[in-house]
């Protein structure tokens, strides 16, 4: 069992440390050969437009879509959530995404960096609050009926799951708390 971290750009290294702290064997995924080694994939925070561009130039976009169709567990945080959504408000016209979870998202919905924030979240299944970082974060603007809500903040869904796909609009990888990664690994 190997967990891949999409390592084209962004906060992939901290995701990897967190997964390793939970005993997972990890692979940084930059090529199709890397993808073949993994049983699950984490899509990190970073710039979603940059990742969309690099997924295409690295010829990774379609092979990942195929793996997602075949029920590979995926966890997207921030930019990763944008990549997994059904539709993107305020995206670039050429921006590509997977439609793997039945949500629509809006990029940079909280505003520019000065509006980025940290806060405490109540998360389903966790006994104590989770300290969360929202960095130029996206928001869920439409939620499909089959999507399970795991956490909200100011009435916006910030952590959700549909089958093997989990998404967070915040960055659980930026704290030292690995409980949300642990929730994902339980799926794996």
Q: How far is the CB of 143 from other proteins (least distance, A)?
A: 13
16-24, 35-43, 62-70, 130-138 -> range binding other proteins (CB under 8 A): 130-138
CA distance linking residue 157 with residue 2, whole number of Å: 29
Tell me the C-alpha to C-alpha distance, in Å, between residue 95 and each of 41, 84, 86, 125, 180: 20, 12, 12, 34, 28
Tell me how crowded residue 162 is: count the other CB atoms within 10 A of its CB: 17
- Which residues 89-108 are close enough to bind other proteins by CB under 8 A? 90-92, 107-108
Q: Closest by alpha carbon to 78, among 68, 88, 69, 70?
A: 88
65-73, 98-106, 110-118, 180-188 -> range binding other proteins (CB under 8 A): 110-118
**Residue from 19, 40, 41, 136 in contact with other proteins (CB under 8 A):** 136
Task: Give me 33's structure tokens.
Answer: 């050969």
How many residues bind other proteins (CB under 8 A)? The answer is 53
Q: Please indicate whether residue 171 is annotated as part of the active site.
A: yes
Can residue 161 be called a binding residue for other proteins (CB under 8 A)? Answer: no
Catalytic entry in 78, 118, 148, 181? 78
Residues 6 or more apart whose Cβ sits within 8 Å of residue 122: 129, 130, 151
Catalytic entry in 15, 16, 153, 171? 171
Residues that are catalytic = 78, 171, 173
């Amino acid at each position: 069992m190997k967990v891949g971290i999409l390592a084209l750009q962004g906060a992939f290294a901290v995701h990897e440390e967190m997964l390793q702290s939970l005993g997972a064997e990890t692979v940084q995924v930059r090529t199709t050969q890397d993808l073949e080694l993994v049983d699950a994939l984490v899509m990190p925070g970073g710039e979603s437009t940059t990742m969309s561009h690099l997924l295409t130039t690295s010829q990774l976009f379609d092979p990942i879509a195929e793996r997602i169709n075949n029920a590979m567990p995926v966890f997207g945080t921030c930019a990763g959530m944008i990549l997994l959504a059904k539709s993107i408000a305020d995206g670039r016209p050429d921006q590509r995404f997977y439609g793997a979870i039945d949500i629509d998202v809006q990029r940079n919905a909280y505003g520019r960096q000065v509006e980025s924030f940290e806060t405490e979240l109540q998360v389903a299944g966790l006994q104590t609050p989770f300290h969360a970082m929202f960095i130029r974060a996206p928001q869920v603007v439409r939620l499909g009926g089959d999507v399970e809500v795991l956490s909200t903040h100011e009435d916006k869904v910030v952590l959700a799951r549909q089958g093997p796909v989990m998404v967070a609009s915040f960055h659980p990888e930026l704290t030292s708390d690995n409980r949300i990664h642990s929730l994902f690994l339980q799926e794996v």
